[in-house]
Amino acid sequence: MRKKIIAGNWKMNMTPSQAVALCAELKDLVKNDDVDVVYCVPAIDIVPVVNALKGTNVKVGAENMYFEEKGAFTGEISAAMLKDAGVEYVIIGHSERRDYFKEDDALLNKKVKKAIEAGLTPILCCGETLEQREMGITMDWIRMQIKSDLAGVAAADVAKLVIAYEPIWAIGTGKTATTAQAEEVCGGIRACIEEIYDKATAEAVRIQYGGSVNAANAAELFAEKDIDGGLVGGASLKADFGKIVCYNK
């Protein structure tokens, strides 16, 4: 039985003081022992958020990292820095990074490997554009992303990984994929993992849906057999996130 994992992706929101205030506001609302709860926060918020969440059920994630160990990479943050600061998860390959910052699968593959080596759990994102969906190549595209991003990653590490399926047309648009669309692709990702690795690995890997998840649609999405939780943008910044985390209560 896979434990659900519900993560907020704060994106470029919340100054350090706002971040601490949000942690306090959500503290009692996000208590649910049935699920793993994670806040993926901007780099500058990591240290205050780790402190603010001490003694709670909420884990901290980063939104990005660089694959090099250390050195002359001005402005970047390493996996070891994140780990030392108390981070447990790191989003890799969000569509905003792929699009605005031109991150490609070869780079993301290096990031995934480095995160695992440092003891972080990657939340690896994939997803198609509306154009790709309309062309009927959604699953081809996503299989290509998964295979490239996980090239050379061992089965035992993939079993512990989180994959987030985020259709780009559903991000920040208020336009959620239907439950059937989300389940179809999450199931397809699991089948792809079984094909590359084996059944046990496919059964263990956790696959989230992301894209306009809210308090009204979370329970239906998370009830699907291949959807192991959500990666939540806008709704993670308000009290509604508590309702999403407590979708089963």
Q: Which residues bind ligand 13P (CB under 6 A)?
A: 9, 94, 166, 171-172, 210-213, 231-235
CB of 145 to ligand 13P, least distance (A): 15
Nearest-angstrom CA–CA distance, 17 and 34? 29
CB of 61 to ligand 13P, least distance (A): 11
Which residue out of 63, 94, 96, 103 is catalytically annotated? 94
Q: Which residue is nearest to ligand 13P (CB)?
A: 233
What's 236's DSSP letter?
G
Is 166 marked active-site? yes
CB of 96 to ligand 13P, least distance (A): 7
Asked whether the beta carbons of 67 and 90 are under 8 A apart, the reply is no
Nearest-angstrom CA–CA distance, 60 and 136? 36
Is 184 marked active-site? no
Which residue out of 63, 96, 128, 166 is catalytically annotated? 166
CB of 94 to ligand 13P, least distance (A): 6
Amino acid (1-letter code) at residue 66: Y
Amino acid (1-letter code) at residue 31: K
Residue closer to ligand 13P by CB (options 170, 201) is 170
Q: Quote the tokens at residue 102.
A: 């031109």
List residues with catalytic annotation: 94, 166
